[in-house]
Structure 1
Amino acid sequence: MFNTLHCGSKTIGTQCLWTIKITRRRNTTELSITPICIVRTSWLYHHSGNNFVTTMLKLMSLSHDQASIGSSENNPINIVNDQIGSPTMIDDLARFLWKLCSQKQWVPIYHWSDAGICTWYEFAQAIKQHGIAAGLLHQPIYLRPTTSKQYASRVTRPPFSALDSHLSQTIATQKTWQQQLTLCLNELAQSKNG
């Protein structure tokens, strides 16, 4: 059983929302129901800000004279390969939320992520491949798969955090995480060249 502060805080947050959903109107016995829903997402990224994609691009871009941090054959970038999830580009999440707001009725909980699953290592490999294709990265870049146990992290993450988004697909169509990553990196390349 996976038990972390994240799981506990997620449960408490959900319970708090359902508690405040039904509130008693002041000075009456009438109850008011506030329409709310929860949208869960995972592995958010964008071509700006601090996230896995921008961090990987920075690490992969470092020159070999910065070998203590950068990627070289003798000093690869270690990437966790035993955690599975669904990357989600922020732009597509925003489009989904916009469409969700226009719905007349909601179910209590929606899941939204880009379609498909991968490990962090597979995601990093795709960032490398699409980053090279977009002209953002240059070879050689060395990535090495590692386990969560071997990778020193302050945050404990679940081994499987992919989301079942079938209810959300009635509102918006998901693109694959590979399509979204390509779009994200192409937008970044255009912004750097433009």
Structure 2
Amino acid sequence: MTIVVIGKSGQLAQELKLLDDSLLCLGRDDIDITSAESVNSILSNNNVTGIINASAYTAVDKAESERQQAFEINAAAVENLAKYANQNAVPLVHVSTDYVFCGDKGSPYQVDDKLEPIGVYGASKAEGERVLLQYATKHSCIIRTSWVYSQFGNNFVKTMLRLMAEKPELGIIDDQIGSPTSASALAKVCLYAVNHNVNGVHHFTDTGVCSWYDFALAIQELGVKNGILDKSIPVKPISTSAYPTPAKRPSYSVLDKSSLQLAFDGLELKHWRVELSDVIHQLTSTK
């Protein structure tokens, strides 16, 4: 039995490998997911019994000028994986995003709420969901998540720790609201889904809600407490309008996790502050 993880260098793939070193992680040099021929050949040769798609084009701002590249990875490649999964009756777990919603609802998004992306990245991920459900409805699980971070790769937590060590003060956006998600916790959900052939669309984040400003304050507090940071610096709340970016962000993207709690038996959901503390401890040991 071979469970394949599409993606090798990303933070989710690395967390998945820590959980189960029998997973076969395939990177760009191993498989071209934009090619149906490559997907069919490589996956068939490895006798795949499950697929976790942890690969994505995630450069939100660059996507505004690289639409074709974003859609190739986030939609066309997903179609190739979906067709393979359907033809071979193999469970496929696909990770999606809160960016498929516009962010103006003001209450947690349900799994069946209308998809209204406000940028190219979100639109490409929404199209990936559409083709997956079109071609592999009975063999797929979509897990939407948000604000993912870990001890690996580049993410908000590691960026904040670096800037807090370098800068005399920071301004962090306080009018975008969501839920942070530890890639370690997300990896456990993905593994459960592929091993238990969970079907449908579900939302997963760590529990609790915050702004990027709240998140940054918690990162600094734990960074100082654990000796990653020598001291605290002033962190000031700023509005989104004061920090313009090429791509617009959802102002409110909290995801309702009700369906996930029903479909994933015995799943333990932890508050984002608990998961953040665990990741800070991991970073402390590698400092």
Q: TM-score range by the shorter chain?
A: 0.7 to 0.9
Q: Deviation of residue 47 (structure 1)?
A: 1.9
Distance 1:179 1:89 in 2: 10
Q: Deviations over 1:47-106 (max 9, x none)?
A: 2211000000000011xxxxxxx1x2xxx21100000011001011001111122225x3
Q: Which moved more, 1:181-190 or 1:168-177?
A: 168-177
- Establish whether residue 10 from structure 1 lines up as the match of residue 112 from structure 2: no
The Cα shift of 1:153 comes to 2.1
Asked if residue 120 in structure 1 is aligned to residue 212 in structure 2, the reply is yes
Shift of 1:128: 0.4
Q: Structure 1 vs Structure 2: percent identity of aligned residues?
A: 34
Structure 1: which 4+ aligned runs deviate by more than 6 Å? none
Equivalent-residue separation in structure 1 for 2:208 and 2:259 (angstroms): 15
Instruction: Return the alpha-carbon distance in structure 2 between the equivalents of residues 4 and 169 of structure 1.
Output: 30
**Residue of structure 1 in register with 2:115 after alignment:** none
In the other structure, the counterpart of 2:259 is 167
Q: 2:144 aligns with which of 40, 52, 65?
A: 40
- Confirm or deny that 1:180 pairs with 2:284: no
Which of the pair has the greater relative contact order for Cα pairs under 8 Å at 6+ separation?
1
Matched, 1:145 2:226: no
With normalisation by structure 2, the TM-score equals 0.56
Secondary structure of the 2:175 match is coil
Question: Which amino acid letter does the alignment assign opposite residue 85 of structure 1?
Answer: G
Secondary structure class of the residue paired with 1:37: strand
> Which is further off, 112-121 or 150-159?
150-159
TM-score normalized by the length of structure 1 = 0.81
Contact (CA 8 Å) 2:174, 2:211: kept in 1 or not? yes
Structure 1 Cα separation of the partners of residues 199 and 132 of structure 2 = 14
Q: Distance in 2 between matches of 1:47 and 1:134?
A: 15
Is the partner of 1:141 in helix, strand or coil? Answer: coil
Larger Rg: 1
2:173 aligned partner: 80
